[in-house]
Structure 1
Amino acid sequence: MGSRESHLVELVDPDGQAVGEVTVDEAHTAPGMLHRAFSVFLRDPAGRVLLQQRSEVKTRFPLRWANTCCGHPLPEESLQIAAGRRLVEEVGVAEVPLTEVGVYSYYAEDPSTGRVEYEYDHVLLGEVSADLPVLADPDEVADVRWVPLDELTQAIAREPRAYAPWLSGVTERLQQFLDRTDTAESSGGR
């Protein structure tokens, strides 16, 4: 886990333009530095998304429920390559085509570790089969579960401290994308 903190991340301005690079550790030390990240959702044909409970050894928001996986591309690395790597590392899922559905910028301080998240977060969606085998790495993930998107939104509203602070925002971006897609498909069929 510690070696991942020495990886480089890409610093960005509020518009997502690259402005430099620092280590993961430096980017997440208070007051934090805005950097590029991604949050992946895997979704099955029933509309359920795969959530992970972050491992207790995570340096930021351990044991909170989050989207399928998260990470940071290396400077100048494509989101697709970086997200594909993290899907394998965290939940053992490979070769899922991903679509960018939005961007969510946020700042959050972790009261239990003193670390911060200050991220320009690209939200990615992968459509997968219902029988997808998930092989979560216990060093990354404490637990996984499939949840319908509407139930997730309600659960975050009821008990926000059980969830990673970015989950509400990235879930909202996903829902907006799905609403636009549904609207486009229904109007295209007329």
Structure 2
Amino acid sequence: MTSSVRESLLVELVSPTGEPTGSATVADAHTAPGRLHRAFSVHLLDTSGRLLLQQRAAVKTRFPLRWANACCGHPSPGTTVVEAALTRLAEELGVLDDLSLTEVGVHLYRADDPDSGLVEHEYDHVLLGIVDADLLTLRPDPAEVAAVRWVDPSDLRTAMAANPSHYSPWLAGVTSLALR
């Protein structure tokens, strides 16, 4: 799916407590000043304690080429967060394995993208999947993902502190929830 098609899809607008309040297109929800909407962030943790990161593709409309968690997205109205997350894992990373995802919390944040002028204002459901990295098959879509890597959480925290502009603005918050 091209980014222009993705920008025309509907997202669910929500209150600060997560109650549905309507819908808007992805593009409208991310146009300044931004509209609070439901999103998800998936963290995959391997059995040795490493997290899978993806570098967002250069063509992403928001925060391109920044490192982020394994997968992010927006459930369309009427779709469960887990169902939407499994679909995006398949689309972005080619993960077709039967994964179990557990919601570990919600990260509410707002971030302006200085390069595009767009805004992330999300009620972000954080999902965690435990995987065996040796058995997980990854086939990243180059239109979505520039690179992937497994990282030790303590190394990630150090790197984010040293070079925050290399990472998505939500990564620290969703990582903290995923690892508590």
Shorter-chain TM-score range:
over 0.9
Partner of 2:43: 41
CA distance in 1, matches of 2:157, 2:179: 10
Residue number in structure 2 paired with 1:25: 27
Name the residue aligned to 1:13: 15
Q: Please tell me whether the aligned partners of residues 153 and 171 of structure 1 are also in contact (alpha carbons under 8 angstroms).
A: no
Where in structure 1 are there 5+ consecutive unaligned residues? 177-190
1: CA distance between counterparts of 2:30 and 2:10? 12
Q: Which of 119, 122, 129 pairs up with 1:119?
A: 122
Q: After TM superposition, what 4+ stretches of structure 1 lie above 4 angstroms from structure 2?
A: none
Select which of 68, 89, 92 maps to 2:70.
Answer: 68
Deviation track 1:112-135 (CA, whole Å, cap 9, x = no partner) reads: 111110000000011111211211
Q: Secondary structure at the match of 1:142?
A: strand
> How do 1:159-174 and structure 2 match up within 5 A?
159-174=163-178
For 1:166 and 1:130, how far apart are their aligned partners in 2? 24
How far apart, CA to CA, are the structure 1 residues paired with 2:113 and 2:5? 20
TM-score (norm 2): 0.96
Counting helix residues as a fraction of each chain, which structure ranks higher?
1
Structure 2 Cα separation of the partners of residues 96 and 151 of structure 1: 26
Taking the TM superposition and a 5 Å limit, the aligned residue runs for 1:1-190 are 1-94=3-96, 95-131=98-134, 132-176=136-180
Aligned-pair identity in percent equals 60
Q: Provide the rounded CA distance (Å) in 2 between the counterparts of 1:141 and 1:173.
A: 23
Q: In the alignment, residue 114 of structure 1 is paired with which amino acid?
A: G
* SS of the residue 1:32 aligns to: coil
Question: Corresponding residue for 1:181?
Answer: none
Matching residue's letter, 1:110:
D
TM-superposed CA distance for 1:43, in Å, is 1.0
Q: Name stretches of at least 5 consecutive residues in structure 2 with no aligned partner.
A: none
